[in-house]
Amino acid sequence: MKPEENGFTREDLKAKLFQGFADPIRIAILELLREREMCVSEMAEAVGCSQPRISNHLACLRWCQFVQTRKEGNQVIYSLHDDRIRKILELADDLLAANAEQVYRCIRI
């Protein structure tokens, strides 16, 4: 594992990338945005969390460039930043379809 210029190895960076997905609320947000653009209040209602909590998770997702924003009047509208995020979610669905029971039983993660 050879460090990159920033001091992190490729493995470190990949682990950080996957940590962006490593929260059920962030996954729920990404799943919603996989379907359509939304504002914070819509996501909060759909996920069942407070708007500040959703905003906190969106800040993380935005920092990682998983989501992007645009203004529409006085609202901020969120969408997926990169179509590859959609593909990662689809691959996760495919993997779970094949081995959800093993993932459920896993005691190591």
Structure confidence by residue, pLDDT tens digits, 41-98: 999 999 999 999 999 999 999 999 999 999 999 999 999 999 999 999 999 999 999 9
Q: How far apart are CA 10 and CA 96, in angstroms?
A: 25
Strands (E), 14-97: 38-39, 67-72, 75-80
108 or 78, which is more confident? 78
DSSP state of 4: -
Cα gap 29→72, rounded to integer Å: 19
Helix (H, G, I), strand (E, B) or coil at 49: coil
**For position 37, what pLDDT does the model report?**
98
- State the Cα–Cα distance between residues 81 and 66, nearest whole angstrom: 5
Q: What is the pTM of this model?
A: 0.88
Q: Could you give the domains of the chain?
A: 10-105 (1.10.10.10)
Check whether 107 has a pLDDT greater than 80. Answer: no
